[in-house]
């Protein structure tokens, strides 16, 4: 996976400029690596009714579901902020629908450095439908 990080970072940086963020002026891009190793991408798309804004992580999840994916292996997040950007609470909950406590989350800074954690560390005690 580490050999793909520079490529993923560069793509996130490139698509970050396409985010529709005319309310917050805070572009975010994300990628999801699925169990199949397919990678889908997303950007934030804001709306004047803030609750209807779609975060980059949820956009990337939707792109994967459209392609027939079902299990998130890894999440990548990038913004132009100085610090590492973490997924918001809504995104964390959506990610639990398709991932689990061990789902890895990598956050990039502007230079391509990254910090890694897990979904379980961000959302302890997560709730989700347990399938038989």
pLDDT tens for residues 83-94?
899 999 999 999
Residue 102 lies in a domain: yes
Residue 98 lies in a domain: yes
pLDDT of amino acid 82: 83
pLDDT of amino acid 131: 63
Residues catalogued as catalytic: 57
Residue 50 lies in a domain: yes
What pairing do the DSSP bridges indicate for beta strands 39-43 and 104-108?
unpaired
The sheet carrying 28-34 orders its strands as 39-43, 28-34, 72-79, 104-108, 114-118
Which CATH number do you get for residue 53?
A: 3.40.140.10
Residue 47 lies in a domain: yes
Residue 62 lies in a domain: yes
Residue 61 lies in a domain: yes
- Read off φ and ψ for residue 128, nearest 5 degrees: -165, 160
Tell whether pTM > 0.85. yes
Q: How many domains does the chain have?
A: 1
Categorize the per-residue pLDDT at 1 as very low, low, confident or very high, splitting at 50, 70 and 90. low
Residue 129 lies in a domain: no
Kindly tell me if the per-residue pLDDT of 95 is higher than 70: yes
Single out the residue of 62, 46, 66 nearest to residue 54, CA to CA.
Answer: 46
Residue 17 lies in a domain: yes
Kindly tell me if the per-residue pLDDT of 107 is higher than 60: yes
pLDDT tens for residues 44-77?
999 999 889 999 999 999 999 999 999 999 999 9
Q: Which long-range contacts (CB under 8 A, 24 or more apart) does 36-40 make?
A: 36/69, 37/73, 38/64, 38/67, 38/69, 39/8, 40/64, 40/67, 40/69
Kindly tell me if the per-residue pLDDT of 132 is higher than 60: no
Compute the mean pLDDT over every residue in the chain, rounded to the nearest whole number: 93
pLDDT of amino acid 26: 96
Range of the domain at 53: 2-122
């Amino acid at each position: 996976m580490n050999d793909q990080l520079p490529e993923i970072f560069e793509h996130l940086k490139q698509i970050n400029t396409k985010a529709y963020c005319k309310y917050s002026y805070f572009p975010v891009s994300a990628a999801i690596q699925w169990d199949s190793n397919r990678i889908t991408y997303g950007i934030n798309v804001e709306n004047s009714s803030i609750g209807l804004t779609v975060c980059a992580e949820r956009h990337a999840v939707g792109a994967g579901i459209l392609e027939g994916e079902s299990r998130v292996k890894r999440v990548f997040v990038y913004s132009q902020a100085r610090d590492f950007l973490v997924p918001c609470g809504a995104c964390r909950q959506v990610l639990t629908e398709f991932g689990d406590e061990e789902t890895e989350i990598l956050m990039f800074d502007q230079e391509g450095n990254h910090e890694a954690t897990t979904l379980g560390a961000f959302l302890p005690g997560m709730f989700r439908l347990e399938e038989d």
